Structure 1
Amino acid sequence: MSVMRIGVGSVTLLLLLAGSLSCSDSKQQSEEKSWEEATPAPLATEQSVPEATEVEEPCTFAVYRANNSLLESIDAPCNQGAEPLTSFLASFRKDSGVVRARALLPSGITPPHVVEDPFRIISPDSTGYFASWITIKRDTASFCTGYIDSDILEQYTFARKSPDDKWYLIDYYNAATQDDISEYAD
Protein backbone atom coordinates (compact mmCIF):
# COMPACT_ATOMS: atom_id res chain seq x y z
CA MET A 1 0.00 0.00 0.00
CA SER A 2 1.40 3.36 -0.94
CA VAL A 3 0.88 6.59 0.95
CA MET A 4 -0.02 9.65 -1.08
CA ARG A 5 1.09 13.06 0.16
CA ILE A 6 -1.40 15.82 -0.45
CA GLY A 7 -0.40 19.46 -0.40
CA VAL A 8 -2.50 22.44 0.75
CA GLY A 9 -3.64 23.24 -2.79
CA SER A 10 -4.71 19.66 -3.35
CA VAL A 11 -6.70 19.61 -0.08
CA THR A 12 -8.54 22.79 -1.11
CA LEU A 13 -9.38 21.27 -4.47
CA LEU A 14 -10.68 18.10 -2.80
CA LEU A 15 -12.91 20.14 -0.43
CA LEU A 16 -14.37 22.11 -3.32
CA LEU A 17 -14.98 18.91 -5.23
CA ALA A 18 -16.62 17.26 -2.18
CA GLY A 19 -18.87 20.30 -1.71
CA SER A 20 -20.03 20.20 -5.31
CA LEU A 21 -20.83 16.51 -5.01
CA SER A 22 -23.13 17.11 -2.02
CA CYS A 23 -25.84 18.44 -4.33
CA SER A 24 -29.25 16.89 -4.81
CA ASP A 25 -29.56 13.47 -6.42
CA SER A 26 -31.07 14.80 -9.65
CA LYS A 27 -28.36 17.38 -10.10
CA GLN A 28 -25.73 14.74 -9.30
CA GLN A 29 -27.19 12.39 -11.92
CA SER A 30 -27.19 15.11 -14.57
CA GLU A 31 -23.61 16.01 -13.69
CA GLU A 32 -22.60 12.36 -13.90
CA LYS A 33 -24.23 12.11 -17.29
CA SER A 34 -22.40 15.17 -18.56
CA TRP A 35 -19.18 13.79 -17.08
CA GLU A 36 -19.71 10.52 -18.97
CA GLU A 37 -20.46 12.40 -22.17
CA ALA A 38 -17.31 14.47 -21.77
CA THR A 39 -15.10 11.44 -21.11
CA PRO A 40 -13.67 10.08 -24.35
CA ALA A 41 -13.99 6.40 -25.12
CA PRO A 42 -10.96 4.35 -24.15
CA LEU A 43 -8.37 3.96 -26.87
CA ALA A 44 -8.12 0.64 -28.62
CA THR A 45 -5.12 -1.27 -27.38
CA GLU A 46 -4.63 -3.13 -30.63
CA GLN A 47 -3.47 -1.04 -33.52
CA SER A 48 -2.34 -2.32 -36.86
CA VAL A 49 1.23 -1.35 -37.58
CA PRO A 50 2.77 -2.28 -40.92
CA GLU A 51 5.52 -4.84 -40.61
CA ALA A 52 9.04 -3.57 -40.98
CA THR A 53 10.59 -4.64 -44.23
CA GLU A 54 14.21 -4.76 -45.26
CA VAL A 55 15.54 -1.80 -47.16
CA GLU A 56 15.24 -2.64 -50.79
CA GLU A 57 18.55 -2.92 -52.55
CA PRO A 58 18.79 -1.21 -55.95
CA CYS A 59 18.54 -3.82 -58.69
CA THR A 60 21.85 -2.73 -60.18
CA PHE A 61 23.63 -3.53 -56.93
CA ALA A 62 21.82 -6.87 -56.72
CA VAL A 63 23.54 -7.72 -60.01
CA TYR A 64 26.85 -6.44 -58.64
CA ARG A 65 26.43 -8.58 -55.52
CA ALA A 66 25.96 -11.65 -57.74
CA ASN A 67 29.17 -10.69 -59.58
CA ASN A 68 31.05 -10.40 -56.27
CA SER A 69 29.95 -13.93 -55.37
CA LEU A 70 30.88 -15.21 -58.82
CA LEU A 71 34.42 -13.85 -58.53
CA GLU A 72 34.91 -15.74 -55.26
CA SER A 73 33.97 -19.07 -56.86
CA ILE A 74 36.90 -21.20 -58.04
CA ASP A 75 34.52 -22.70 -60.60
CA ALA A 76 33.71 -19.33 -62.19
CA PRO A 77 34.75 -19.04 -65.86
CA CYS A 78 36.99 -16.05 -65.01
CA ASN A 79 38.94 -18.29 -62.63
CA GLN A 80 39.54 -21.04 -65.20
CA GLY A 81 42.46 -21.38 -67.56
CA ALA A 82 46.15 -20.50 -67.38
CA GLU A 83 45.65 -17.67 -64.88
CA PRO A 84 42.61 -17.39 -62.62
CA LEU A 85 41.43 -13.81 -62.19
CA THR A 86 41.63 -14.11 -58.40
CA SER A 87 45.33 -15.11 -58.62
CA PHE A 88 46.09 -12.19 -60.94
CA LEU A 89 44.28 -9.74 -58.65
CA ALA A 90 46.19 -10.98 -55.61
CA SER A 91 49.51 -10.01 -57.24
CA PHE A 92 48.06 -6.86 -58.87
CA ARG A 93 47.03 -5.55 -55.44
CA LYS A 94 50.48 -5.91 -53.93
CA ASP A 95 53.11 -5.37 -56.61
CA SER A 96 53.54 -2.12 -58.55
CA GLY A 97 55.80 -4.03 -60.98
CA VAL A 98 52.84 -6.26 -61.90
CA VAL A 99 50.67 -3.16 -62.35
CA ARG A 100 53.21 -1.61 -64.77
CA ALA A 101 53.88 -4.87 -66.64
CA ARG A 102 50.21 -5.82 -66.99
CA ALA A 103 48.77 -2.40 -67.86
CA LEU A 104 47.91 -2.23 -71.56
CA LEU A 105 46.30 1.18 -71.33
CA PRO A 106 45.50 3.64 -74.11
CA SER A 107 48.01 6.47 -74.45
CA GLY A 108 47.52 9.25 -71.94
CA ILE A 109 46.02 7.00 -69.26
CA THR A 110 48.25 6.57 -66.24
CA PRO A 111 48.19 3.22 -64.42
CA PRO A 112 46.74 3.33 -60.92
CA HIS A 113 48.92 3.48 -57.83
CA VAL A 114 49.03 0.27 -55.84
CA VAL A 115 47.00 0.57 -52.66
CA GLU A 116 46.36 -1.97 -49.95
CA ASP A 117 43.05 -3.27 -51.28
CA PRO A 118 41.70 -1.39 -54.29
CA PHE A 119 39.01 -4.03 -54.85
CA ARG A 120 37.37 -3.97 -51.43
CA ILE A 121 33.63 -4.58 -51.78
CA ILE A 122 31.44 -1.86 -50.23
CA SER A 123 27.66 -2.25 -50.08
CA PRO A 124 25.72 0.92 -50.91
CA ASP A 125 25.32 3.31 -48.01
CA SER A 126 22.53 5.86 -47.55
CA THR A 127 24.02 8.03 -50.29
CA GLY A 128 24.22 5.12 -52.76
CA TYR A 129 28.03 4.95 -52.66
CA PHE A 130 29.37 1.48 -53.47
CA ALA A 131 32.43 -0.46 -54.62
CA SER A 132 31.82 -3.66 -56.54
CA TRP A 133 32.56 -5.88 -59.49
CA ILE A 134 30.11 -4.61 -62.11
CA THR A 135 31.11 -7.09 -64.82
CA ILE A 136 32.47 -10.61 -64.43
CA LYS A 137 32.69 -12.69 -67.59
CA ARG A 138 35.02 -15.42 -68.75
CA ASP A 139 37.54 -13.00 -70.31
CA THR A 140 36.45 -9.58 -68.99
CA ALA A 141 36.01 -8.08 -65.53
CA SER A 142 35.35 -4.52 -64.33
CA PHE A 143 35.56 -3.14 -60.82
CA CYS A 144 33.89 0.18 -60.10
CA THR A 145 33.41 2.64 -57.26
CA GLY A 146 30.82 5.37 -57.36
CA TYR A 147 27.15 5.98 -56.78
CA ILE A 148 24.35 3.61 -57.81
CA ASP A 149 22.88 4.71 -61.16
CA SER A 150 25.02 7.84 -61.11
CA ASP A 151 28.64 8.99 -61.11
CA ILE A 152 31.56 6.59 -61.45
CA LEU A 153 34.53 7.64 -59.35
CA GLU A 154 36.98 4.94 -60.35
CA GLN A 155 36.87 1.94 -62.68
CA TYR A 156 39.33 -0.84 -63.53
CA THR A 157 38.70 -3.04 -66.58
CA PHE A 158 40.64 -6.27 -66.99
CA ALA A 159 40.65 -8.62 -69.97
CA ARG A 160 42.39 -11.57 -71.54
CA LYS A 161 42.17 -12.87 -75.11
CA SER A 162 41.27 -16.41 -74.05
CA PRO A 163 41.44 -18.65 -70.98
CA ASP A 164 44.94 -19.64 -72.11
CA ASP A 165 46.20 -16.06 -71.79
CA LYS A 166 47.12 -13.82 -68.87
CA TRP A 167 44.91 -11.06 -67.49
CA TYR A 168 45.74 -7.40 -68.25
CA LEU A 169 44.46 -4.05 -67.11
CA ILE A 170 43.07 -2.64 -70.37
CA ASP A 171 41.30 0.47 -69.09
CA TYR A 172 41.44 2.62 -65.99
CA TYR A 173 39.36 5.67 -65.07
CA ASN A 174 39.71 7.90 -62.03
CA ALA A 175 37.37 10.90 -61.77
CA ALA A 176 39.83 12.77 -59.53
CA THR A 177 42.56 12.72 -62.20
CA GLN A 178 40.32 12.91 -65.26
CA ASP A 179 41.63 15.56 -67.65
CA ASP A 180 39.04 15.07 -70.38
CA ILE A 181 36.82 18.15 -70.42
CA SER A 182 35.50 17.66 -73.96
CA GLU A 183 31.93 17.19 -72.72
CA TYR A 184 32.01 20.77 -71.42
CA ALA A 185 33.51 22.27 -74.57
CA ASP A 186 31.37 24.55 -76.77
Structure 2
Amino acid sequence: MASLLLSGCGGDSSDHGSANAAATESTSVSENMDDMAGMEMGDPSATPADKIPGAEVAEGTFKLLDTRPPGMDDVKGTAWLAQSPKGTTVTVSLTGLKAGEEYMSHLHAQPCSTKGGGEHFQFEKGGPTTPPNEVHLMFTADKSGMGMTTVNNDRKTGEDAVAVVVHPTAAMDNRIACADFDF
Protein backbone atom coordinates (compact mmCIF):
# COMPACT_ATOMS: atom_id res chain seq x y z
CA MET A 1 0.00 0.00 0.00
CA ALA A 2 2.81 2.43 0.81
CA SER A 3 4.20 1.82 -2.67
CA LEU A 4 1.00 3.28 -4.13
CA LEU A 5 1.49 6.33 -1.97
CA LEU A 6 5.06 6.75 -3.12
CA SER A 7 4.81 5.68 -6.73
CA GLY A 8 3.38 8.98 -7.92
CA CYS A 9 6.65 10.81 -7.53
CA GLY A 10 8.92 8.05 -8.78
CA GLY A 11 8.32 7.41 -12.45
CA ASP A 12 8.46 9.17 -15.76
CA SER A 13 7.24 12.73 -15.27
CA SER A 14 5.81 12.87 -18.80
CA ASP A 15 2.64 11.16 -17.57
CA HIS A 16 2.34 13.27 -14.43
CA GLY A 17 -0.04 16.15 -14.02
CA SER A 18 -3.28 14.63 -15.27
CA ALA A 19 -6.22 15.99 -13.31
CA ASN A 20 -7.92 12.58 -13.50
CA ALA A 21 -4.82 10.79 -12.16
CA ALA A 22 -4.59 13.33 -9.34
CA ALA A 23 -8.23 12.83 -8.40
CA THR A 24 -7.81 9.05 -8.42
CA GLU A 25 -4.65 9.23 -6.31
CA SER A 26 -6.22 11.61 -3.78
CA THR A 27 -8.43 8.99 -2.18
CA SER A 28 -5.77 6.28 -2.25
CA VAL A 29 -3.15 8.54 -0.71
CA SER A 30 -5.22 9.58 2.29
CA GLU A 31 -6.27 5.99 2.91
CA ASN A 32 -2.65 4.79 2.86
CA MET A 33 -1.00 7.50 4.97
CA ASP A 34 -1.45 5.29 8.04
CA ASP A 35 1.01 2.80 6.48
CA MET A 36 3.74 5.37 7.08
CA ALA A 37 2.81 6.24 10.66
CA GLY A 38 5.80 6.29 12.97
CA MET A 39 8.33 6.76 10.16
CA GLU A 40 10.72 9.69 10.39
CA MET A 41 9.44 12.18 7.82
CA GLY A 42 10.22 15.56 9.29
CA ASP A 43 10.48 17.76 12.31
CA PRO A 44 10.04 21.52 11.78
CA SER A 45 11.88 22.20 15.06
CA ALA A 46 14.94 20.04 14.21
CA THR A 47 18.28 21.70 13.48
CA PRO A 48 18.15 22.69 9.78
CA ALA A 49 20.63 21.02 7.45
CA ASP A 50 22.48 24.29 6.77
CA LYS A 51 23.11 24.70 10.53
CA ILE A 52 24.63 21.24 11.25
CA PRO A 53 28.10 21.86 12.74
CA GLY A 54 30.96 20.42 10.68
CA ALA A 55 28.69 19.07 7.93
CA GLU A 56 29.28 19.24 4.21
CA VAL A 57 26.21 21.13 2.93
CA ALA A 58 24.72 21.31 -0.56
CA GLU A 59 22.03 23.86 -1.37
CA GLY A 60 19.41 24.00 -4.10
CA THR A 61 16.79 26.48 -5.24
CA PHE A 62 13.38 25.09 -6.15
CA LYS A 63 12.30 25.53 -9.77
CA LEU A 64 8.68 25.10 -10.85
CA LEU A 65 7.83 21.99 -12.87
CA ASP A 66 5.29 21.76 -15.69
CA THR A 67 3.50 19.02 -13.72
CA ARG A 68 2.47 21.40 -10.92
CA PRO A 69 -1.24 21.67 -10.17
CA PRO A 70 -3.12 24.89 -10.99
CA GLY A 71 -2.59 27.74 -8.53
CA MET A 72 1.01 26.80 -7.67
CA ASP A 73 2.80 29.36 -9.87
CA ASP A 74 4.18 31.37 -6.93
CA VAL A 75 5.95 28.52 -5.13
CA LYS A 76 9.57 29.36 -4.28
CA GLY A 77 12.06 27.94 -1.86
CA THR A 78 15.35 26.38 -0.95
CA ALA A 79 16.52 22.91 0.06
CA TRP A 80 19.66 21.88 1.89
CA LEU A 81 21.32 18.49 2.18
CA ALA A 82 23.98 18.08 4.87
CA GLN A 83 26.23 15.12 5.44
CA SER A 84 28.08 14.64 8.70
CA PRO A 85 29.42 11.70 10.69
CA LYS A 86 25.85 11.30 12.03
CA GLY A 87 24.40 10.74 8.52
CA THR A 88 22.26 12.87 6.23
CA THR A 89 20.03 15.81 7.14
CA VAL A 90 17.66 17.38 4.61
CA THR A 91 15.69 20.62 5.05
CA VAL A 92 13.10 22.13 2.71
CA SER A 93 11.65 25.63 3.02
CA LEU A 94 8.99 26.87 0.62
CA THR A 95 6.56 29.76 0.23
CA GLY A 96 3.59 30.21 -2.09
CA LEU A 97 1.96 26.94 -1.02
CA LYS A 98 -1.75 26.55 -0.28
CA ALA A 99 -2.40 27.30 3.39
CA GLY A 100 -3.22 24.27 5.51
CA GLU A 101 -2.40 21.77 2.74
CA GLU A 102 -0.05 18.82 3.30
CA TYR A 103 3.04 18.35 1.13
CA MET A 104 5.69 15.69 0.70
CA SER A 105 9.23 15.86 -0.62
CA HIS A 106 11.57 13.06 -1.62
CA LEU A 107 15.25 12.90 -2.49
CA HIS A 108 15.81 11.94 -6.11
CA ALA A 109 18.67 10.21 -7.93
CA GLN A 110 18.61 12.36 -11.08
CA PRO A 111 18.76 16.12 -11.67
CA CYS A 112 15.57 18.13 -12.15
CA SER A 113 16.24 18.39 -15.91
CA THR A 114 15.94 14.58 -16.21
CA LYS A 115 12.26 13.68 -15.91
CA GLY A 116 11.73 16.09 -13.01
CA GLY A 117 14.30 14.28 -10.86
CA GLY A 118 13.53 10.78 -12.11
CA GLU A 119 13.24 7.98 -9.58
CA HIS A 120 13.50 8.38 -5.82
CA PHE A 121 16.94 8.08 -4.30
CA GLN A 122 17.25 4.83 -2.34
CA PHE A 123 20.09 3.78 -0.07
CA GLU A 124 19.43 0.18 -1.19
CA LYS A 125 18.27 0.29 -4.82
CA GLY A 126 15.20 -1.86 -5.28
CA GLY A 127 14.62 -1.93 -1.52
CA PRO A 128 11.67 -0.57 0.45
CA THR A 129 10.05 2.62 -0.89
CA THR A 130 9.66 3.98 2.64
CA PRO A 131 12.01 5.51 5.21
CA PRO A 132 14.67 4.74 6.23
CA ASN A 133 15.57 3.38 2.74
CA GLU A 134 14.24 6.59 1.17
CA VAL A 135 14.32 10.12 2.55
CA HIS A 136 10.85 11.67 2.79
CA LEU A 137 9.86 15.04 4.22
CA MET A 138 6.20 15.64 5.07
CA PHE A 139 4.87 19.03 6.19
CA THR A 140 1.80 21.25 6.27
CA ALA A 141 1.84 24.82 4.94
CA ASP A 142 1.01 27.44 7.55
CA LYS A 143 -1.67 30.12 7.12
CA SER A 144 0.72 32.26 5.06
CA GLY A 145 1.52 29.37 2.67
CA MET A 146 4.98 28.71 4.10
CA GLY A 147 6.20 25.19 4.78
CA MET A 148 9.48 24.05 6.30
CA THR A 149 10.73 20.81 7.81
CA THR A 150 13.90 18.83 8.43
CA VAL A 151 14.52 15.10 8.46
CA ASN A 152 17.53 13.06 9.55
CA ASN A 153 18.74 9.69 8.32
CA ASP A 154 21.64 7.84 9.95
CA ARG A 155 23.16 6.94 6.55
CA LYS A 156 25.00 9.19 4.11
CA THR A 157 23.68 9.69 0.59
CA GLY A 158 27.06 10.66 -0.82
CA GLU A 159 26.56 12.50 -4.09
CA ASP A 160 23.95 9.98 -5.27
CA ALA A 161 20.98 12.06 -4.07
CA VAL A 162 21.15 15.00 -6.44
CA ALA A 163 17.71 16.62 -6.18
CA VAL A 164 14.60 16.97 -4.06
CA VAL A 165 11.04 17.13 -5.41
CA VAL A 166 7.95 18.52 -3.63
CA HIS A 167 4.34 17.71 -4.40
CA PRO A 168 0.94 17.90 -2.68
CA THR A 169 0.25 14.82 -0.56
CA ALA A 170 -3.29 14.66 -1.96
CA ALA A 171 -2.06 14.56 -5.58
CA MET A 172 1.23 12.70 -5.64
CA ASP A 173 1.50 12.77 -9.45
CA ASN A 174 1.59 16.58 -9.46
CA ARG A 175 5.23 17.44 -8.87
CA ILE A 176 5.26 21.14 -7.97
CA ALA A 177 8.95 21.98 -7.91
CA CYS A 178 12.41 20.45 -7.93
CA ALA A 179 15.73 21.64 -6.51
CA ASP A 180 19.14 20.37 -7.69
CA PHE A 181 21.80 20.22 -4.99
CA ASP A 182 25.00 22.13 -5.73
CA PHE A 183 27.81 19.84 -4.54
Q: Which has the higher strand share?
A: 2
Q: Mark the structure with the bigger radius of gyration.
A: 1
TM-score by length of 1: 0.24
Structure with the larger RCO, 1 or 2 (CA within 8 Å, 6+ apart): 2
TM-score by length of 2: 0.25
Q: Which has the higher helix share?
A: 1
